[in-house]
């Protein structure tokens, strides 16, 4: 087969593979992440819509509710600067958490807890701990689909719209026969979800995360007017500022405590109105968080600090309803659990009972026991519990558990011991029979003992029923899953076919790919994936160094430093099991913020020297230094100004004038000037490469990559900037090693993956950093913000992708024995290098013949001796395409293994707790990192500078 045809075929197959991998992941995703299935119709209608009980004699205790959601209301951090406080905050649970602990920003709310006018809880959310999912759970009382992970960032009202959805809002509105309005002020997600519910509303965009005060100020602006009105039954408020502060500056931000004091002032103003206004006498205020937050200020996963959210029921009418006295502030809880612990969805039936409307059909919550006394009448409270239990029984019957067990459930009554059932559903049905029996006894002989037995039976049944109903929705489309898998299998096959020859020297990357694919079937390794890449990268660097450092004339220190820096980079951020060195570094930085900025300046100084050197050839020494200084100074000043906005405590050492300058600086203009300078230098490099003195491709690629690396620095948190110094030093050592394309592909893969985790990321959604996504972009630039957000989270892997181009061009131009040689005694390594050098020469000769139109490659003496065309095939193999094909092989096989693992765990909780978050992460790896940055970005740069090579 002619070489040119084989090369074209190989490249087309490789392009098709890179297209099919993200497409296969997308198809699989549409089959895995689907909306909830509709409740099965039919059956006992009385089960689904229980009639009011004859035992409810009195009016409900409340006729209005103010539902005040403070986004991410879990952690509060004191703004004190004392060393003692800073040391305590690094301990697990050492921060002041929720509304409840010491140093909280809610002193008035705590006084209400002490007085008995407020009843506090820790409400446990479920995955995914994202705002859209939590709003739906707080209004519907049921589990949610992982599709919400995408809806939370989709910014599409049509995709989120749930017309006619059964919620406590719609039930309350119907119970008032539209005489009282449902009013809302807050983020747009509520209105996007339930556009037909709110009679009076004003919603604000939640997309612009850097807006720390805009939404909250607009919500509070409407409060005095609404508190004076008497035409509403529910006033829903959603404050976003605390969550924005956490995302941008972390829970230690100096803005955190003032924001909580602001929220406490809102609670106080509402409570004073409840005390004094006659029309607000029977109004219930609920202060709650939709989810918690991690130590980095993020959420979305299932860590205890993400699942736990503060919840407080507040009203003057609650004072005296219970004899329980609660201390506030409370002692620090290391497990984040304060006071009584309830499920977040328990708020829905509790609202139904306290305001006197029917429970939503899908509800999986149970009335909170501590609020029973607020019902005012024991019979009314017991009666509502029975209604709640009947609703749960109906929801259970319509669930997949009830439908699947319908045939076998008829014999459940024969069991006397409910624990003897082999299935949870059978146990629930047995406990339901016990509820019916206890209800019959209570109706026959009402009394405290019978009432107590009935309540106990109901809560025991409800606990099991809630567990069954709270399992994440499993509405998976098997057909789409199989189609997605077929696409990925085809992509892997195409990648294998794209290799022009079989080369056993590719074994390191094949071994890494195979072992990583195997780990996809081990849940704990999926959650702790960083261990694989940390140890794998260290082992590879040790192997790589050992093949170069043999012999007395080889310096040991550079190779040892290469491995040592790799280990050190893995200790900068915490992942999985906490590293004590990472905790100590955080504490040291907050006590000594100057120490943070020294490596930041060193990192940009390194970039300054590189860019100045690159510009010197055309601009002269002084002009080149001035241009490089302007670029790097702009990057540093922007980083200082951005930090001053969200973490001013890290710049407390700066003078008043310096802080004023940073506070008033127009960051958008500075960034646009910075980007213009980068673009100008890029155009200059490309023009100089094309029309100048024919600089080597490696020189031009090095210059372009240095520019891009400076941009990457501007997209990185200051804490991670020292990693660039480590990466730069590692690259310099690797350049001296002059690795082959196969070694380069393996190095870039392992070090890039390790860098992803060492910069603080993991497979959890909670580690997605939103700080740098809005840099220089407005609120309307949705696509740009999303791309820049993903890039800022993939800075480490992308840095190594472009470093791989430098290694490839350096190897392609060497044409001689690299850093290793025969004199070091490594004969095997020398033969491998000589072989790859011969392949490069043959490839260049074949390229010249193709350009001359001679597609026939005459057999060399080597081919004649072997009797094959293997050498001719290898002669037409491009080092870059071999490098890209190896990365494509890894992307395809790892994605395929993950989809098969998801299929194997179908129906198991690990599918949603472990593999669903990993799948979201893997999809971004496949589309953004492999296809967008590697296949398109790096390929364009390679061919732009190297021509057709």
Q: What is the count of structural domains for the chain?
A: 2
Is the Cα torsion angle 337, 338, 340, 346 positive or negative in sign?
A: negative
pLDDT digits (tens, 9 = 90+) for 596-652: 899 999 999 999 999 999 998 878 889 999 999 999 999 999 999 999 999 898 988
Q: Is the pLDDT of residue 885 over 90?
A: yes
pLDDT digits (tens, 9 = 90+) for 135-184: 999 999 987 777 777 676 666 677 778 888 899 999 999 998 878 999 99
Helix (H, G, I), strand (E, B) or coil at 13: helix
Q: Is the pLDDT of residue 189 over 60?
A: yes
What distance lies between CA 735 and its chain's CA centroid? 34
Looking at residue 83, what is its pLDDT? 36
**CB neighbourhood size of 703 (10 A):** 24
Q: Which residue has the higher pLDDT, 525 or 472?
A: 525
Looking at residue 252, what is its pLDDT? 83
Helix (H, G, I), strand (E, B) or coil at 174: helix
What region, left, alpha or beta, does residue 675 occupy, with left being phi > 0 and alpha being psi -120 to 50 degrees? alpha
Contact criterion met (CB below 8 Å) for 734 and 747:
yes
For the residues 400-416, what does the mean pLDDT come to? Answer: 51
CA–CA gap between residue 325 and residue 234 (Å, rounded): 29
Least confident of 43-57, 270-284, 417-431, 559-573: 43-57
pLDDT digits (tens, 9 = 90+) for 908-921: 888 888 999 999 99
Residue 75 domain-assigned?
Answer: yes
The last residue of one of the domains, among 349, 376, 403, is: 376
Q: Which residue has the higher pLDDT, 518 or 328?
A: 518
DSSP assignments along 576-627, one per residue: SSPPHHHHHHHHHHHH-THHHHHHHHHHHHHHHHHHHHHHHHHH-HHHHHHH
Place of tokens 């929720």: 98
**CB neighbourhood size of 937 (10 A):** 17
DSSP assignments along 860-927, one per residue: -HHHHHHTSSHHHHHHT--HHHHHHHHHHHHHHHHHHHHHHHHHHTTTSTHIIIIIHHHHHHHHHIII
Residue 49 domain-assigned?
Answer: no
The 3 state secondary structure assigned to 485-527 is: HHHHHHHHHHHHHHCCCCCHHHHHHHHHHHHHHHHCCCHHHHH
pLDDT digits (tens, 9 = 90+) for 481-514: 999 999 999 999 999 998 866 677 788 899 999 9
CATH number at residue 166: 3.40.720.10
pLDDT digits (tens, 9 = 90+) for 925-938: 999 999 999 999 99
Residue 703 domain-assigned?
Answer: no
Q: What is the pTM of this model?
A: 0.86
Assign 271 a pLDDT band (cuts: 50, 70, 90): very high
Residue 720 domain-assigned?
Answer: no
Q: Is the pLDDT of residue 573 over 50?
A: yes
Q: Which residue has the higher pLDDT, 443 or 237?
A: 237
Looking at residue 49, what is its pLDDT? 45
Looking at residue 582, what is its pLDDT? 65
Residue 437 domain-assigned?
Answer: no
Assign 567 a pLDDT band (cuts: 50, 70, 90): very high
Contact criterion met (CB below 8 Å) for 373 and 322:
yes
Looking at residue 55, what is its pLDDT? 41
For the residues 578-584, what does the mean pLDDT come to? Answer: 61
The last residue of one of the domains, among 376, 398, 432, is: 376
Assign 690 a pLDDT band (cuts: 50, 70, 90): confident
Q: Is the pLDDT of residue 475 over 50?
A: yes
Assign 39 a pLDDT band (cuts: 50, 70, 90): very low
Q: Which of 219, 167, 217 is nearest to 188 (CA)?
A: 219
CA–CA gap between residue 487 and residue 503 (Å, rounded): 26
What is the domain extent for residue 859? 830-877
Residue 73 domain-assigned?
Answer: yes
Looking at residue 729, what is its pLDDT? 94
For the residues 273-279, what does the mean pLDDT come to? Answer: 95
Residue 128 domain-assigned?
Answer: yes
Q: Is the pLDDT of residue 94 over 70?
A: no
Residue 237, beta-bridge partner list: 68, 185
CA distances from 50 to 180, 354, 356, 403 (A): 24, 17, 14, 20
pLDDT digits (tens, 9 = 90+) for 705-740: 999 999 999 999 998 999 999 999 999 999 988 899
Looking at residue 625, what is its pLDDT? 94
Q: Is the pLDDT of residue 80 over 70?
A: no
Least confident of 223-232, 357-366, 906-915: 906-915
Looking at residue 780, what is its pLDDT? 66
Supply the DSSP symbol for 63: S
CA distances from 531 to 526, 753, 756 (A): 10, 11, 12
Strands (DSSP E) contained in 149-306 are 181-187, 200-204, 232-239, 283-288
Backbone phi, psi, residue 285, to 5°: -105, 125
b/e map 895-933, b = 16+ CB within 10 Å:
bbbbbbbbbebeeeebbbbbbbbbbbbbbbbbbbbbbbb
For the residues 255-265, what does the mean pLDDT come to? Answer: 92
Q: Which residue has the higher pLDDT, 53 or 576?
A: 576
Strands (DSSP E) contained in 217-294 are 232-239, 283-288
pLDDT digits (tens, 9 = 90+) for 450-463: 889 999 999 999 99
Contact criterion met (CB below 8 Å) for 270 and 185:
no
Assign 84 a pLDDT band (cuts: 50, 70, 90): very low
Is the Cα torsion angle 292, 297, 301, 305 positive or negative in sign?
A: negative
Looking at residue 98, what is its pLDDT? 63
Averaged pLDDT score across all residues of the chain: 83
Q: Is the pLDDT of residue 877 over 70?
A: no
The last residue of one of the domains, among 342, 376, 410, is: 376
Count of alpha carbons within 13 angstroms of residue 708, beta-carbon side: 23
Contact criterion met (CB below 8 Å) for 218 and 201:
no
b/e map 823-840, b = 16+ CB within 10 Å:
ebebeebbebbeebbebb
CA–CA gap between residue 737 and residue 544 (Å, rounded): 9
Percent of the chain residues topping a pLDDT of 90: 50
For the residues 323-344, what does the mean pLDDT come to? Answer: 82
Residue 861 domain-assigned?
Answer: yes
Looking at residue 47, what is its pLDDT? 39
Q: Is the pLDDT of residue 95 over 50?
A: no
CA–CA gap between residue 454 and residue 457 (Å, rounded): 5
What region, left, alpha or beta, does residue 696 occupy, with left being phi > 0 and alpha being psi -120 to 50 degrees? beta
């Amino acid at each position: 087969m002619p070489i040119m045809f084989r090369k074209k075929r190989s490249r087309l197959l490789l392009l098709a593979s890179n297209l099919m991998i993200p497409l296969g992941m997308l198809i699989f995703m549409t089959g895995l992440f689907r909306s909830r299935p509709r409740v099965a119709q039919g059956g006992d209608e009385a089960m689904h819509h229980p009639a009011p009980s004859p035992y409810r004699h009195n009016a409900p205790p409340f006729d209005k509710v103010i539902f005040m959601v403070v986004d991410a209301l879990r952690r509060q951090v004191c703004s004190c600067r004392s060393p003692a406080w800073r040391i305590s905050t690094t301990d697990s649970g050492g921060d002041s958490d929720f509304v409840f602990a010491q140093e909280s920003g809610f002193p008035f709310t705590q006084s209400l807890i002490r007085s008995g006018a407020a009843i506090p809880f820790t409400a446990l959310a479920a995955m995914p701990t994202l705002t859209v999912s939590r709003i739906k759970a707080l209004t519907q009382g049921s589990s949610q689909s992982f599709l919400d992970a995408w809806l939370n960032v989709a910014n599409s009202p049509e995709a989120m719209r749930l017309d006619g959805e059964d919620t406590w809002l719609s039930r309350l509105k119907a119970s008032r026969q539209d005489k009282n309005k449902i009013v809302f002020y807050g983020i747009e997600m509520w209105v996007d979800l339930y556009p037909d519910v709110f009679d009076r509303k004003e919603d604000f965009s939640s997309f612009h995360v850097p807006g720390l005060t805009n939404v909250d100020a607009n919500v509070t602006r409407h409060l005095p007017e609404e508190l004076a009105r008497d035409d509403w039954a529910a006033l829903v408020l959603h404050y976003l500022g605390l969550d924005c502060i956490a995302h941008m500056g972390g829970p230690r931000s100096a803005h955190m405590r003032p924001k909580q004091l602001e929220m406490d002032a809102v609670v106080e103003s509402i409570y004073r109105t409840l005390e004094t206004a006659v029309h607000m006498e029977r109004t219930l205020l609920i202060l709650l968080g939709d989810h918690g937050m991690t130590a980095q200020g993020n959420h979305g996963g299932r860590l205890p600090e993400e699942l736990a959210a503060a919840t407080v029921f507040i009203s003057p009418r609650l004072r005296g309803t219970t004899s329980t006295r609660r201390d506030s502030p409370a002692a620090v809880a290391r497990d984040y659990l304060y006071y009584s612990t309830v499920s977040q969805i328990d708020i829905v039936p509790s609202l139904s009972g306290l305001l006197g409307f029917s429970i939503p059909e899908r509800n999986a919550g149970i009335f909170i026991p501590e609020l029973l006394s607020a019902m005012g009448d024991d019979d009314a409270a017991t009666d509502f519990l029975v209604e709640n239990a009947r609703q749960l029984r109906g929801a259970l019957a319509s669930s997949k558990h009830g439908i699947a067990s319908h045939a076998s459930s008829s014999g459940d009554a024969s069991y006397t011991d409910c624990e003897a059932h082999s299935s949870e559903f059978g146990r629930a049905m047995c406990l339901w029979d016990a509820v019916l029996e206890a209800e019959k006894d209570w109706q026959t002989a009402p009394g405290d003992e019978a009432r107590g037995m009935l309540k106990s039976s109901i809560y025991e049944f409800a606990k099991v029923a809630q567990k069954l109903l709270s399992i994440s929705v499993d509405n998976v489309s098997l057909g789409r899953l199989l189609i997605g898998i077929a696409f990925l299998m085809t992509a892997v096959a195409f990648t294998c076919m794209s290799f022009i020859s079989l080369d056993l020297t590719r074994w390191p990357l094949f071994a890494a790919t195979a072992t990583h694919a195997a780990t996809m079937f081990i849940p704990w390794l999926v959650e702790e994936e960083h261990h694989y890449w940390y140890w794998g990268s260290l082992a590879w660097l040790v192997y790589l160094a050992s093949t170069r450092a043999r012999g007395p004339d080889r310096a040991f220190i550079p190779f040892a430093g290469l491995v040592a820096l790799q280990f050190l980079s893995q200790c900068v951020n915490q992942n999985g099991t906490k590293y004590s060195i990472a905790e100590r570094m955080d504490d040291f930085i907050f006590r000594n913020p100057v120490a943070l900025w020294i490596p930041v300046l060193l990192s940009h100084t390194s970039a300054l020297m590189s860019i100045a050197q690159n510009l010197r050839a055309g601009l002269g020494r002084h002009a080149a230094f001035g241009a490089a200084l302007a670029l790097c100074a702009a990057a540093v000043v922007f980083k200082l100004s951005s930090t001053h906005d969200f973490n001013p405590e890290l710049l407390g050492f700066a003078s008043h004038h310096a802080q004023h300058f940073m506070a008033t600086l127009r960051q958008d203009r500075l960034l646009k000037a910075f980007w213009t300078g980068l673009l100008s230098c890029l155009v200059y490099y490309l023009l100089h490469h094309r029309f100048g003195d024919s600089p080597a491709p490696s020189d031009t690629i090095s210059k372009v990559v240095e520019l891009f690396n400076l941009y990457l620095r501007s997209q990185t948190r200051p804490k991670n900037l020292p990693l660039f110094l480590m990466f730069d030093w590692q690259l310099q050592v690797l350049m001296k090693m002059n690795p082959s394309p196969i070694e380069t592909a393996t190095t870039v893969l392992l070090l890039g993956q390790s860098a992803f985790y060492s910069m603080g990321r993991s497979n959890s959604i909670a580690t997605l950093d939103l700080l740098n996504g809005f840099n220089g972009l407005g609120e309307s630039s949705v696509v740009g913000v999303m791309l820049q957000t993903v890039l800022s989270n993939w800075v480490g892997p992308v840095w190594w992708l472009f470093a791989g181009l430098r290694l490839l061009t350096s190897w392609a131009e060497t044409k001689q024995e690299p850093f290793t040689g025969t004199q070091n005694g490594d004969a095997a390594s020398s033969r491998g290098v000589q072989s790859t050098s011969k392949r490069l020469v043959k490839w260049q000769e074949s390229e010249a013949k193709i350009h001359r139109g001679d597609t026939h490659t005459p057999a060399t003496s080597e081919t004649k001796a072997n009797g094959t065309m293997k050498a001719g095939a290898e002669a037409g193999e491009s080092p870059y395409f071999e490098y890209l094909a190896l990365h494509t092989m890894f992307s395809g096989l790892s994605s395929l293994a993950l989809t098969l693992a998801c299929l194997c765990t179908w129906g198991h909780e690990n599918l949603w707790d472990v593999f669903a978050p990993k799948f979201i992460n893997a999809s971004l790896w496949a589309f953004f990192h492999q296809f967008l940055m590697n296949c398109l970005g790096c390929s364009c740069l390679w061919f732009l500078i190297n021509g057709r090579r």
